[in-house]
Chain A
């Protein structure tokens, strides 16, 4: 595709990889940075991101999809990344998008799962435009416990027993070792940084409009934590969208998330007035 440009861009000492989706018509003024979810969720969700980025470009909205430090095709090892570097990467991606596409007035953030959480935190730090949170991780500690569980499951599958339980894994982390989760090496700094996140316990200073989407395959109701987050972010709308958890390995193939895509585009249209 002529309007999709893969490139590396520098954030300090390392290079990040991104794909710029140039709009197929005159830019409408708002561009979007897409923030991938964590670790293997990024790979399962990639095609939905690609499809949505292409849809936005068709409508005239420039998009930058990029990999965080140590993720995907970006430089660095996975264990080198942490919440601080991730937020710095989002800021860098926002600046890069503005530089690359003339006529962009403001940059919005769209993220999925931990990518949504990081987008919300980055919006707090950067002068951003719209914020779109797809099924954000609200309780970082709970999420990290799920990540550790994947290590326990792998141990069970390989050794037929748990050789290092959850307590030992955390101890390993505190002693400076990494813990493997589905092939990704988690460092203490990353573990601690994500575990400390309680998105609905902090005020996010985001001046623009925000869409929070709960994704589930049953059709609601919206969880209290999500509603709570909606109350913490000014000018936010909270909706539920029925969609399979396409960021995980499931039986069905989900190259598109049509309900999620349609709901998000309709919300964007409503913002445009």
Chain B
């Protein structure tokens, strides 16, 4: 049995953050690690299609205290979000906009529940917030990242320039399927199409294989060397991602990264980060668990995918933080 309690806590600027805490009733079965779910993008602590409600219910049933809350300026919390374009707000989240609110949540749980070890979890921007926050805070012992983004979101970014081979292949297929579609040709000649993007997709060169890429290596101080002119530097990778990933893994914190098979964020992760970087982590693979949800989309909307994800995350929590 679980108590679900509304909570209000203050962040460092004195703004009230609203959330919901799930507390297993039997204190003797309560785990010493709490889970904090971090809101995705501009959505609230409920998550898309109540994903966070279901995640919290599952983890609390396993004995974990779970806190899900709204960052300042979002959901029910105090504050404002400045910005015209959603993509730019996403971009600022991926640069750590809400890391201090995570700190406030951990402080709240320490004070109210006496718990000092945390697994951070989240979808998309929530996962990235967790990675950045966790990398700089030893109280964080693990991360559950669902569809974590490795690139910079911005309204200004020319997406076709930075498209992964997976995305390009998918779009190429769809263009070829439309070859007999009169309306597609009408649109093509209406001057409304993004011709630069179409050109790039149809005629782009195959990317170099991972072995041909310039080697990326870890510096002795734990930072990662990015040689000038290599394929990753030329891409739109958010450099906070490899740095935070590296810090987490080399300080022996565990990462469970789950991607949906049909999500461009998986292709980006694999092509722009994991393939070129994984050699660095060959001796650290016991800290990294990467899983792919078959036939799933970014928000894990179908119930079978969601059930599988919940099973994986519960097993992972049980196996590592029991």
Contacts and interface: CB of A to CB of B under 8 A. Distances in A.
Interface of A: 1, 4, 6-8, 17, 19, 39-40, 43, 46-47, 50, 71-73, 78, 154, 157-159, 180, 182-185, 249-253, 255
Contacts of A78: 49-50
Given A6-B18, A73-B53, A78-B50, A158 B43 contact: no
Interface in B46-85: 46, 48-51, 53, 73-76, 78, 80-81, 83-85
Contact of B297 (A4, A71, A154, A184): A154
B8 interface: yes
6 contacts: A6-B6, A46-B76, A47-B75, A180-B303, A183-B50, A183-B51
Contacts of B302: 154, 158, 180, 183
B81 A184 contact: no
Given A158-B302, A250-B86, A253-B81, A184 B76 contact: no
A6 B76 contact: yes
Contacts of A184: 49-50
A251 B4 CA distance: 34
Given A185-B303, A255-B80, A158 B262 contact: yes
A251 B262 contact: no
A183 B87 contact: no
Interface residues of B, number: 39
Contacts of A8: 4, 6
Contact of A157 (B16, B87, B297): B297
Contacts of A250: 86
Contacts of B301: 154, 180, 182-183
Name A's interface SS.
Answer: mixed
Interface of B: 4, 6, 8, 16, 18, 20, 42-44, 46, 48-51, 53, 73-76, 78, 80-81, 83-87, 89, 155, 262, 295-297, 299-303, 306
Given A73-B4, A250-B86, 10 more contacts: A6-B6, A43-B44, A46-B75, A47-B42, A47-B75, A50-B76, A158-B295, A183-B301, A253-B81, A253-B89
B18 to A, nearest CB: 6
A252 B88 CA distance: 9
B98 to A, nearest CB: 15
Contact of A253 (B76, B85, B297): B85
A39 B299 CA distance: 14
Nearest to B260: A158
A43 B123 CA distance: 15
Contacts of B16: 1, 4
A251 B18 CA distance: 26
A157 B262 contact: yes
A68 B202 CA distance: 48
Contact of A73 (B46, B80, B86, B87): B46
Given A1-B78, A43-B46, A251-B155, A158 B18 contact: no
A182 B298 CA distance: 11
A72 B74 contact: no
Given A6-B76, A19-B76, A154-B302, A252 B6 contact: no
B310 to A, nearest CB: 13
A249 B87 CA distance: 11
A190 to B, nearest CB: 15
Given A1-B16, A253-B85, A182 B299 contact: yes
Q: Which of A8, A40, A185 has the most CB of B within 10 A?
A: A40
Contact of A7 (B6, B74, B295, B299): B6
A251 B86 CA distance: 6
Contact of A255 (B81, B262, B306): B81
B84 A40 contact: no
Contacts of A249: 86
A17 B73 CA distance: 20
Nearest to A39: B49
B50 A72 contact: yes
Contacts of A253: 42, 81, 83-86, 89
Nearest to B53: A73
A73 B76 CA distance: 12
Contacts of B83: 253
A182 B262 CA distance: 15
Nearest to B294: A158
Contacts of A182: 48-49, 299, 301
Q: Which of B50, B51, B73 has the most CB of A within 10 A?
A: B50
A172 B78 CA distance: 43
B263 to A, nearest CB: 10
B296 A158 contact: yes
A73 B297 CA distance: 24
A251 B85 contact: yes
Given A6-B6, A251-B87, A252-B86, A40 B81 contact: no
Contacts of B306: 183
A40 B296 CA distance: 18
A183 B49 contact: yes
